[in-house]
Amino acid sequence: MHLDLNCDMGESFGAYQIGDDEGVMPHITSANVACGFHGGDPAVMRRTLRLARANGVAVGAHPGFQDLAGFGRRDLRVTPQEAEDLVLYQVGALEAMARAEGVRLAHVKPHGALYNMAAREEPLAEAIARAIRAFDPSLVLFALAGSRLQRAAEAVGVRVAPEGFADRSYEPDGSLTPRSKPDALIHDAQLVVQRAVRMAREGLVSASDGRDIPIRIRTLCVHGDTPGAATLARELHAGLERAGVIVRAPGATG
């Protein structure tokens, strides 16, 4: 029974700091490094790669829409070809920085609106899968468990780590409760840990109507921009291990 803890990292930009990368990094096993479009810049990317390396954390690319003003969180009507190209471009940019730092890329997790749109829209999902396969078929794609993105990637032979969110409410159909609804976010740390353990051990999560739904995940998202992110990451890591779950990156061995 293995689970990966991933967190978005390196989203600072120039003079702007965001997130508590140094506090969170020691407690996660995969870092999704922003690639300069929705956040991050070449200097931040290098710094983040070094921080991940120093903590033995696996590194992945975290490509997003070219919308720094909206932090990549606003839906942007790109074509599938545009999506494919922007993923390739950003993964390649990060890979170059990683190569210079002696770090090997292990995964790709699309960011924000790109992640959400690709979870729903097959043409975008296929485009992202094509980009990964063309760049390096050994990269693992982090995709919302059960989404079109997961299926599109698997269909073309890209390995997927299905992703869960222990601090988000799920709808009975397995989708995430929209943030606009009350109770979409779960703030109680103990409950978050419990839900994580249950997802990992039993493959179940309690949905918004109270009933259990099946969920098969290989990685769990830790939100790095919430207050107390480092503490929650530490508690998740410890709680999972206490429950007998081995916390490690998808590609890690041992």
Where does this chain touch its own copies (CB under 8 A) — which range of 21-29, 87-95, 144-152, 216-224?
A: 87-95
CB of residue 88 to its own copies, shortest distance in Å: 5
- Count of Cβ atoms closer than 10 Å to residue 110 Cβ: 32
By the rule CB under 8 A, 20 interacts with its own copies:
no
By the rule CB under 8 A, 77 interacts with its own copies:
yes
Q: Which is nearer to its own copies, 80 or 203 (CB)?
A: 80
Q: How many residues bind its own copies (CB under 8 A)?
A: 46
40: which 2 tokens? Answer: 């991050």
CB of residue 175 to its own copies, shortest distance in Å: 18
Instruction: Looking at residues 122 to 141 of the shown chain, list those that interact with its own copies (rule: CB under 8 A).
Output: 131, 134-135
Pairing of strands 140-144, 105-108: parallel
By the rule CB under 8 A, 81 interacts with its own copies:
yes
Nearest-CA neighbor of 124 among 79, 177, 167? Answer: 79
Instruction: Looking at residues 140 to 169 of the shown chain, list those that interact with its own copies (rule: CB under 8 A).
Output: none
Interacting residue with its own copies among 25, 51, 57, 78 (CB under 8 A): 78
By the rule CB under 8 A, 175 interacts with its own copies:
no
Distance CA 43, CA 55 (A): 19
Where does this chain touch its own copies (CB under 8 A) — which range of 26-34, 68-76, 146-154, 187-195?
A: 68-76
Distance CA 125, CA 177 (A): 21
By the rule CB under 8 A, 85 interacts with its own copies:
yes
8 Å CB contact between 244 and 1: yes
Distance CA 236, CA 142 (A): 19
* Rounded alpha-carbon distances, angstroms, from residue 102 to 35, 45, 254: 17, 13, 21
Nearest-CA neighbor of 61 among 134, 17, 116, 9? Answer: 9
Nearest-CA neighbor of 154 among 202, 98, 218, 214? Answer: 218
By the rule CB under 8 A, 53 interacts with its own copies:
no
Interacting residue with its own copies among 2, 26, 53, 70 (CB under 8 A): 70
CB of residue 82 to its own copies, shortest distance in Å: 7
By the rule CB under 8 A, 226 interacts with its own copies:
no
8 Å CB contact between 87 and 37: no
Strand partners, 205: 213
Q: Which is nearer to its own copies, 71 or 170 (CB)?
A: 71
Positions in the binding site for its own copies (CB under 8 A): 12-18, 36, 39, 41-43, 45-46, 66-71, 73-78, 81-82, 85-86, 88-97, 99-100, 113, 131, 134-135
